[in-house]
């Protein structure tokens, strides 16, 4: 089969690879009908996430049709079913899964020893990600083996198109979880930093959840135009002061709820000297991530506020004002998305026409164009916001 394979930093290739096979009774093989490039794939593209190996298959936003199952499905999945595959692999049985903390499933990371060494206690296995999360082959391919498939799937109604359903795998529940974690009140101002795909979903989620006003921060006009269409007040941080604007909008008190939908690769600009310091430290391998946005959020957030972090951070960050956060009594909520916690509700909302996630797709291409699209997406060329591939 064909698959997008990681060969090193900035080196993705559309390779011919051997087909996946059933290895366990709980496995299923799906024929991929649609898959997408996620913003966090760019962290792998840039080799900022440790423990990738040449030959790893990329991709964790995937859907398709079941073509083969193991013997342990217990009637939950059968050949011909149309499914979205959540990026977190879940057993559905461990203590964390039973609590709904699916992204920290205790069973599915097949390299748990490695993850425990790096994180103290590792989380769930993830598709197409680092070997710290199991090193499972990803779904930017023609076929995907889904481990624990009886639990790791979302059945999709025929009435829903691939474009509407695909983002149930990651960015829609990620944006939704980010907004829900903010415990939005009708008087709240919710600010979303980063108007990439997750930011766009977080904006729509905050609007649906009834925020008084939603503010979107970015520097790319096309992304801000999409954010504004979704009900956000746009701030272009290259043209105006984020802090001054947010204070104006909140009578000088700051926003109650802040969402960091950007994570480890903050924009580097001369007007933000700390971002330059971060980039230099990152180059010298003195810190993993660039936390400029996190610093700004802690500074502008209203005392007693909530900071929700769906953006990916990989390791060590420097000069984060913890004293400021502590004295303001801020609450931090973060983590990989507990996809399955939200999917029943989100499937219903898509079916009822409350939200149509396909709005975010700007590019739809074949799998063989994937390597080029990684660069287009990374460089934000051609107004690219979300790439969907049809293998």
Partner 1 sequence: MSFFSNLKRNKSDPKVISSGPSSLSSSDRLARNLGWFSIGLGLVELFGAHRITRTLGMEGQETMVRAYGLREIGAGMMTLSVDKELGLASRIAGDGIDVVTLGAAMHRDNPRQDNVAIALVLVAGVTLLDFIAAGAARGRHTRRLGERRDYGDRSGFPKGLSASRGLAKEKARALLG
Nearer to partner 1, 293 or 376 (CB): 376
User: How far apart are alpha carbons 342 and 358 in whole angstroms?
Assistant: 18
The minimum distance between CB 306 and partner 1, in angstroms, equals: 11
The minimum distance between CB 178 and partner 1, in angstroms, equals: 12
Nearer to partner 1, 323 or 379 (CB): 379
Nearer to partner 1, 179 or 246 (CB): 179
**DSSP-based three-state secondary structure for 45:** helix
Taking phi over 0 as left and psi of -120 to 50 as alpha, with beta for the rest, 268 belongs to beta
Q: Which two tokens stand for residue 110?
A: 């097949």
Nearer to partner 1, 150 or 188 (CB): 188
Q: Residue 37: CA atoms inside 13 Å, Cβ hemisphere, count? A: 32
DSSP 267: P
The minimum distance between CB 299 and partner 1, in angstroms, equals: 26
Nearer to partner 1, 113 or 244 (CB): 113
Calculate the dihedral angle through the C-alpha atoms of 140, 26, 29, 82, rounding to the nearest 10 degrees. -90
The minimum distance between CB 113 and partner 1, in angstroms, equals: 5
The minimum distance between CB 75 and partner 1, in angstroms, equals: 26
Nearer to partner 1, 82 or 131 (CB): 131
DSSP 60: S
DSSP letter string over 160-203? S-HHHHGGGGTHHHHHHHHHHTT---TT-EEEEE--SHHHHHHH
The minimum distance between CB 140 and partner 1, in angstroms, equals: 12
Calculate the dihedral angle through the C-alpha atoms of 339, 343, 345, 350, rounding to the nearest 10 degrees. 120
The residue written with tokens 């496995």 in the block is: 27
Nearer to partner 1, 169 or 200 (CB): 200
Nearer to partner 1, 188 or 296 (CB): 188
Q: Hey, CA dihedral for 173, 179, 185, 187, is it positive or negative? A: negative
Nearer to partner 1, 219 or 247 (CB): 219
Rg (CA), the chain: 20
Answer yes or no: are the C-beta atoms of 58 and 44 closer than 8 Å. Answer: yes
- Residues 291-319 as b/e (b if ≥16 CB within 10 A, e otherwise) read bbbbbbbbebbbeebbbbbbbbbbeebee
The minimum distance between CB 301 and partner 1, in angstroms, equals: 19
The minimum distance between CB 303 and partner 1, in angstroms, equals: 21
User: How far apart are alpha carbons 302 and 211 in whole angstroms?
Assistant: 15
The minimum distance between CB 323 and partner 1, in angstroms, equals: 28
The residue written with tokens 């790893």 in the block is: 56
């Amino acid at each position: 089969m064909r698959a997008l394979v990681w060969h090193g930093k900035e080196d993705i290739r559309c390779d011919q690879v051997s087909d996946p096979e059933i290895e366990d009774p709980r496995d299923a093989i799906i024929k991929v009908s649609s898959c997408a490039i996620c913003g966090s794939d760019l962290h792998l593209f840039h080799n900022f996430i440790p423990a990738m190996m040449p030959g790893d298959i990329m991709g964790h936003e995937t859907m398709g049709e079941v073509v083969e199952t193991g013997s342990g499905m217990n009637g939950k999945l059968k050949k011909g079913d149309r499914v979205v595959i959540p990026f977190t692999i879940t057993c559905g049985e461990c203590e964390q899964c039973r609590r709904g903390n699916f992204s920290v499933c205790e069973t599915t990371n097949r390299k748990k020893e490695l993850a425990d060494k790096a994180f103290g206690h590792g989380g769930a296995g993830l598709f197409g990600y680092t070997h710290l999360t199991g090193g499972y082959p990803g779904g930017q391919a023609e076929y995907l083996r889904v481990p624990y498939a009886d639990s790791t799937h979302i059945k999709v109604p025929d009435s829903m198109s691939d474009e509407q359903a695909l983002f149930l795998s990651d960015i829609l529940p990620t944006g939704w979880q980010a907004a829900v974690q903010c415990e939005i009140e009708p008087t709240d101002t919710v600010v979303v930093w980063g108007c990439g795909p997750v930011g766009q979903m977080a904006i729509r989620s905050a609007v649906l959840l009834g925020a008084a006003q939603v503010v979107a921060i970015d520097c790319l006009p096309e992304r801000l135009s999409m954010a504004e269409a979704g009900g956000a007040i746009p701030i272009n941080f290259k043209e105006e002061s984020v802090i001054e604007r947010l204070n104006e909008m909140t009578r000088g008190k700051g926003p109650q709820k802040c969402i960091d939908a950007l994570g480890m690769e903050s924009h580097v600009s001369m007007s933000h000297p700390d971002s330059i310091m971060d980039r230099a430290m990152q180059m010298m391998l003195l810190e993993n991530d660039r936390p400029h946005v996190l610093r700004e959020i802690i500074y502008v957030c209203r005392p007693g506020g909530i900071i929700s972090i769906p953006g990916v951070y990989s390791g060590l960050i420097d000069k984060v004002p913890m004293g400021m956060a502590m004295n303001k009594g801020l609450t931090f909520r973060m983590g990989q998305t507990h996809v399955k916690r939200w999917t029943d509700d989100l499937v219903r909302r898509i079916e009822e026409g409350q939200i149509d996630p396909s709005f975010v797709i700007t590019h739809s291409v074949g799998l063989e164009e994937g390597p080029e699209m990684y660069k287009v997406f990374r460089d934000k060329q051609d107004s690219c916001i979300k790439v969907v591939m049809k293998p």
